[in-house]
Amino acid sequence: MFTKLSFAGKIDTIAAFYRPLGNDLKDDEILTEIQVPEPPASARQEYIKFALRKPVDFGIVSVAAVIKVT
C-alpha cells in the first residue's frame, strides 16, 4: 500500500501507480507513504548486499527475501 499526493487528490492504489515502463508519478506529485505489512511470527527474513569497497557503498547487487515457515 502506498499514498501518492497531488493537486488532483490522493491516490492509494498500486495498480494506478505502476506502468509497463516505470511509474505514473507526475511532476506535481510526491510519494508520501509506503506501507509494508508486518510478516507473520513464523516468517524469516534475510538481506544481503554485495559492494566492491566499504560497507557504506551502494550495493552492486542487493537481495531481500521473506519466507513464511509453516
Number of domains in the chain: 2
Q: What is the 3-state secondary structure (H, E, C) of the chain?
A: CEEEEECCEEECCHHHCEECCEECCCCCCEEEEECCCCCCCCEEEEEEEECCCCCCCCCCEEEEEEEECC
Q: Which of 37, 39, 60, 40 is nearest to 48 (CA)?
A: 60
Asked whether residue 42 falls in the same domain as residue 22, the answer is: no
The domain in which residue 10 lies consists of: 1-36
Please tell me the predicted confidence (pLDDT) of residue 57. Answer: 74
Residues 31 and 53 in one domain: no
45 and 32 within one domain: no
Kindly state whether residues 51 and 26 are assigned to the same domain: no
Evaluate if residue 1 carries a pLDDT over 60: no
Reported as a single tens digit per residue, the pLDDT across 10-41 is: 666 666 667 777 777 778 777 777 777 788 88
Residue 29 sits in the same domain as residue 9: yes
pTM: 0.40
